[in-house]
Structures are given as C-alpha cells and as structure tokens.
Structure 1
Amino acid sequence: MTKQSLRIAVAQTTATADVRSNGETVRRLMREAGAEQARLVQFPEGFLSGYAKEQIQDWGHVDWPAVRGELEQIIALAAELRIWVVLGSAHPLTPPHRPHNSLYVISDQGTIVDRYDKRFCSHTEITTFYSPGFEPVVFDVDGYRFGCAICVEINFPDLFTQYGELGVDCLLLSAYPVDEVFEAKARAYASINTYWTGMALPSQTSHLMNSGVIGPDGRYVAQLDGGEGLVYADLERSAYSVWFDKARPWRRTALLGDIYRSRRVDDPRSEDRTCF
C-alpha cells in the first residue's frame, strides 16, 4: 500500500577502523531514527567495515568476524524497530577475490533483501581494493521505490538515467566525496531524473558538503549543518506533482522522439544551415 508520505533519515557519521564502534554508532542512530518515526535510515559508503583508502589500507587488517557480528546485531535491531536500513560496508568474497564495496538493504522484518555492489569503481579501488558489481538494485518501501548508488558513480550519467527508467522515487547515494562539484552533480541528477536523492556522507568530508536529502527539483529538502547525526525528510509525491505527474512522463515521451519526428518539416530553408 502506498502511503501519502514516507519519512527517511540520512546519516552523517565519523568513519573509523573500529568495526565495533561503527556498529554501535549505526544502532544508536537507528534508535534515534525509529523514535522520529522514520521508515528508512541510510548510512555512508563503507561505514561499517571502514572504507578502503581511508580507514582501511589492507583487507588483512579487517576483523571480518566482527563485521559479521555487528551486521547481525543491526539486522536484529531493524526487526525490533521495524525500520529499513541501507548500510555501507565492504562485503567479503571467497579468497583470493577482493571484497565488493556494498550497500546492504535490510528490511524492517530483519532480513537482507538485497545488496548493491558498486559497479563503477575508481582506478585505485578496482586495481587494489574491490571487485566490481554489475546490477542495479531497486526495492520498495510502503509504495515508494528506492535505488542505490555509491560515490564515484556520480560521474556516470547513464547509471542515474537507468534508475529513472526503473521508476525510482528516491535514489540513495552513499559516498566519501573528494571535491565540491560532487554536490552539484547530485543536485543536477535529482532534477533531471525527477527523484529525491538521499546523500549520506562521513563527517570527515563535511568541509566539502553535508549529508542531506535533495528534492526532485534539485533543491535541498533538508541538510545537516556540520557535525554528526541524522537529517530527516518526508517524501510526499503530491508536493512535487508538477515533477512526477507532468515533467517525468513528458520527458519519457520526448526521449522516444515521435513528437518531434511527426512534426519534421520538408523545407529548403530548414535544410540549408549556412544562410539566414
């Protein structure tokens, strides 16, 4: 059943190499989000395990049993609180394969219903740290459709277009940004593709931008003002009826091209592009 509105929470957290500390932070913020009636809470890229190149320099230093143990506690708490969780973490594969850079999608029933594995990794990530994924991930919460993306994928417009074609209402973009232009790209994609964008970032990058939720018009619905914590946004399609009911379907029709081909004119003044 589609609810009129759906509240989401987006986290800004200090990433560490201490898996147990990261797990405790996730659970504390889950409880805060649950108390504020959020249906979903989103965390930054690589947060639970620590992110390669920053907190992690060698996968051999990661306490993988501890990562699993913290994840199991998070899953159990999601069921207790009846809240969805989108959690950034490395996902270990069978040795000698490198981990995926992933977002676990944990349902309010306490199950991992899907996992998004970063498809477009940076040069350092793909040559030293991670194995790539290959599939988009979409899931529905109370009639609202979500998609997932991670960090450097911001540089690949087709990925964001694909999620628009898959009918997402909100794209969850978890990242560890390195420049200010990242924010401009996220706002542009939200507006071009007509969906909300939840942007979960570590507090270490708050000098560049802060975690927040961008509306389908490219403007922030809500944004943290530095530090750590959660920011909340109520997704409500009726508040953006022009974008969802008019702009989105018109753009899809326009891309098909028939409305233009049917109006093509046979005129020498159209054909000759060298004169007035």
Structure 2
Amino acid sequence: MRIAVAQVISGADTAANLELVWDYAAQASNAGARLVVFPEATMRAFGHSLKDIAEPLDGPWASEVRRIAKDLDITIVAGMFTPGKDGRVRNTLLVTGPGVEASYDKVHLFDAFGFTESKTVDAGEGPVTFELDGTLFGLATCYDVRFPGLFTANANAGARVNIVCASWGAGEGKTEQWDLLVRARALDSTTYMVACGQGDPETTGAGPAGAAPTGVGHSAVVTPLGKPVVALGGKPELAVVDIDPATVDDVRATLPVLANARRF
C-alpha cells in the first residue's frame, strides 16, 4: 500500500489551510498514494480561536475536504475541530475518501508542560478504527502517543497500522521524545506507525509562535519493529512510501507481545 505523509504548517486562515490540503493531496494522488495523512489542527493552527471555526462533520470545511478526497480518489486524514460540550470544542481527526468515512476525537488531553488543553477541548470517548483496501487503521492524536493502551487497543481490534497526527510543542528534549514515543508505540502494538506532525515554523523563518504548541516536524513512518521507513526533518514536506501491512502477521508470529500480554 502506498501512503503519504503531508507535513504542513497550517495557519489561522481555514480557507488557506484547505488550499494546503488540496495541494498536498493532489501531489500524493499523482504519486499513486491511496492515503494521505495531515497533522492535527490542519483546519486552524493552535494559538488562534478554535470555538469560532468549530463545525460538525457535515459542515463546509469538512465537506470541502470530502470533495477533495472524492475528486482525487484518495483517502484523507486531517485534523479539525468540532463542537463539544460546555462551550468547548473537540479535537477531531476527519477520515474521508471513496467508500471511507470515520472520525476520531482526541481522548487524552494535553494538560502538561504548562498547557491546559482541557480548558477549551472536550475529550473523546474511546478508540476508533477504519478500513481501507482491506487493512484496518487505528487513530490517535498528539498527546495520545504517550499512552500505549490506545495503540494496543487498536491493534487488538485488528489494526495493522496506527496513525498519530500531532501539533507537537517544542521544548528541551521534546523532539527526541516524539521520535522515541512513535517508535515505542510501533513495538508495543506491533503495527506500522504513521506519525504526521505540523512542520517547524522556524524552518520557514516564522520563528516560535509563543505558548501554543505548533510543531517540530519529524513526521515518520515506522515498521512494527520500530525501524523508520522514512523520517522527515522540520520543514514542510510530503513523503510518499510503500508499506506492506501483511508483514504485520509475520512480526506478530515472531514477537507476540499482544498475545503474551497479561492484564493486572
């Protein structure tokens, strides 16, 4: 299966961010990819109001992503914001393409490193998977990557690939943690990991964007044994790679951590 990782840097303008989706999805489709993954907060970058742009999954922004996916005959995963409870929003991954429709609301909220996502974001209820070309994919968002249980739950539900979309906050050791966590989750779940983060604004001369988490880049596709198939730097970039989900069965026969796991 050919997949693409679109390491973009979104901004405040939701229409301009749709142009990014169109541009990178078209490149991915032209390269023969069946799936293109965009980061968390593709709809609008953190550091800007989210409540005023949050919309349901049948709203105009999501509908335009749906049209792009249909026109390009590709499945798109992209981060957006939907209405939540008590005036908050939900941090949502939209999955849409020919014959594919799903969404995941971020379960683990980023109340860490001095940032309190739960003030403005309403947590989702549980894991979500979707099927594409006979392969099951699990979904996760940013801070979720620190919680192995979500990835093993997706794997136990049949996922051979886990996707994590992020707007990873910069800071001392944070890039190294991201790299380590993505590879660890591949090993925990014996799945391919498709990790797509927002690019690093400093690579475009924009400089750091203040307290809100923006991105450090370092998107990657990792095998079920934790080996990077591709690993990007900080700048905006599209990576197109081929993976073989069937190899997951071979890995699990050799390293049956899911079957051997005991619950205490």
Between the aligned partners of 2:259 and 2:180, the Cα distance in structure 1 is 26
Between the aligned partners of 2:246 and 2:132, the Cα distance in structure 1 is 17
Counterpart check, 1:233 vs 2:241: yes
Between the aligned partners of 1:63 and 1:188, the Cα distance in structure 2 is 33
Unaligned runs of 5+ in 1: 1-5, 258-276
Instruction: Compute the TM-score of the two structures, normalised by the length of structure 2.
Output: 0.83
Q: In the alignment, which residue of structure 2 is the partner of 1:140?
A: 131
Counterpart check, 1:176 vs 2:172: no
Q: CA deviation at 1:64?
A: 5.6
1:109-144 deviation digits (Å, cap 9, x = unpaired): 4x6x22100011022111x21111012110111111
Q: Tell me if structure 1 keeps the 8 A contact 2:216–2:234.
A: no
One-letter amino acid of the structure 2 residue matched with residue 212 of structure 1: A
Q: CA deviation at 1:69?
A: 2.7
Between the aligned partners of 1:192 and 1:121, the Cα distance in structure 2 is 21
One-letter amino acid of the structure 2 residue matched with residue 255 of structure 1: A
Q: In the alignment, which residue of structure 1 is the partner of 2:193?
A: 197
Q: In the alignment, which residue of structure 2 is the partner of 1:37?
A: 32
One-letter amino acid of the structure 2 residue matched with residue 99 of structure 1: V
Q: CA deviation at 1:218?
A: 0.6
Q: In the alignment, which residue of structure 1 is the partner of 2:12?
A: 17
Between the aligned partners of 1:157 and 1:74, the Cα distance in structure 2 is 30
Once the two structures are overlaid, the 10-residue window that deviates more, 31-40 or 203-212, is: 203-212
Between the aligned partners of 2:135 and 2:50, the Cα distance in structure 1 is 38
Q: CA deviation at 1:187?
A: 0.4
Q: How many residues align?
A: 241
Q: Give the secondary structure class of the aligned counterpart of 1:59.
A: coil
Q: Tell me if structure 1 keeps the 8 A contact 2:54–2:83.
A: no
One-letter amino acid of the structure 2 residue matched with residue 219 of structure 1: K
**After the TM superposition, which residues 53-72 of structure 1 pair with which residues of structure 2 at under 5 Å, given as runs?**
54=47, 56-57=48-49, 59-60=51-52, 62=53, 68-72=59-63
Q: CA deviation at 1:16?
A: 0.3
Instruction: Compute the TM-score of the two structures, normalised by the length of structure 1.
Output: 0.79
Larger gyration radius, structure 1 or structure 2:
1
Q: Tell me if structure 2 keeps the 8 A contact 1:46–1:88.
A: yes
Between the aligned partners of 1:17 and 1:253, the Cα distance in structure 2 is 45
1:212-262 deviation digits (Å, cap 9, x = unpaired): 211111111012244212112212145566414432xx33332259xxxxx
Q: 1:215 aligns with which of 223, 238, 250?
A: 223
Q: CA deviation at 1:50?
A: 2.7
The structure carrying a bigger helix percent of its residues is: 1
**After the TM superposition, which residues 104-115 of structure 1 pair with which residues of structure 2 at under 5 Å, given as runs?**
104-109=94-99, 113-115=101-103
Between the aligned partners of 2:91 and 2:245, the Cα distance in structure 1 is 31
1:148-180 deviation digits (Å, cap 9, x = unpaired): 000111222211221221121111100111212
Q: 1:253 aligns with which of 246, 259, 262?
A: 259
1:159-214 deviation digits (Å, cap 9, x = unpaired): 12212211211111001112121220110110221111111111127784511211
Q: 1:129 aligns with which of 120, 131, 144?
A: 120
